């Protein structure tokens, strides 16, 4: 089992690597080609794969705990099942190439995009949160926080890209629809448009 300082340093290391991937490599792909290169897609996939295995760095003795409250256990399995199912459904509905940043031909504003600009992130967060409920501990709480930080970096990079492509249409979309849930982004149109 890793000490808490090593766990925290490892988490910040993964956040730093994610920052480099999303804010440098992915951003550069979007700026140069208006879509992700296969290399940038591979880097994004690698970051989320590293995140997925991160919780294994600090498994306490007797993991997973068997004495979890039955209500938490049911809620955890429900969140994981709903989150993963929704994520697969949303990616299928949106289209694999669009979801992976390979094709940006239309600004989706229908379906789940009427309620949130990032339904896939919400679905994935629901699954991660379910995992934390299923096996509550400080390191699974850290896992939820780590996912939130990494996903937010990806979202910021994608938002910049979509503003560059769709300009006023995207700015108005941001005014109408919250980034995640319930919080609308107030944008000054003059900041993003020449």
pTM over 0.85: no
- What are the Cα distances from residue 129, in Å, to 20, 73, 79, 81, 136? 25, 12, 7, 11, 10
Q: What is the pLDDT of residues 62-113, one digit of tens each?
A: 666 677 788 888 999 999 999 999 999 988 887 776 667 666 777 888 888 8
Q: What are the residue boundaries of the structural domains of the chain, listed by start?
A: 4-192
pLDDT in tens, 2-48: 677 777 888 899 999 999 999 999 999 888 877 788 898 899 989 98
């Amino acid at each position: 089992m890793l000490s808490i300082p090593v766990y925290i340093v490892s988490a910040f290391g993964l956040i730093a690597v994610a920052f480099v991937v999303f804010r440098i490599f992915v951003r550069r792909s979007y700026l140069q080609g208006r879509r992700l290169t296969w290399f940038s897609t591979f880097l994004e996939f690698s970051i989320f794969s590293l995140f997925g295995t991160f919780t294994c760095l600090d498994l306490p003795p007797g993991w997973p705990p068997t004495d979890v409250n039955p209500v938490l256990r049911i809620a955890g399995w429900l969140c994981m099942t709903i989150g993963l199912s929704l994520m697969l459904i949303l990616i299928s509905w949106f289209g694999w190439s669009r979801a992976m940043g390979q094709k940006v031909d239309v600004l989706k504003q229908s379906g789940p995009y009427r309620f949130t600009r990032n339904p896939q992130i919400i679905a994935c967060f629901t699954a991660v949160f379910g995992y934390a409920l299923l096996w509550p501990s400080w390191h699974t709480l850290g896992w939820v926080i780590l996912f939130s930080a990494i996903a937010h970096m990806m979202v910021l990079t994608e938002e910049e890209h979509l503003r560059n492509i769709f300009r006023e249409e995207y700015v108005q979309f941001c005014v109408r629809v919250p980034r995640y849930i319930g919080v609308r982004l107030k944008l000054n149109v003059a900041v993003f448009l020449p």
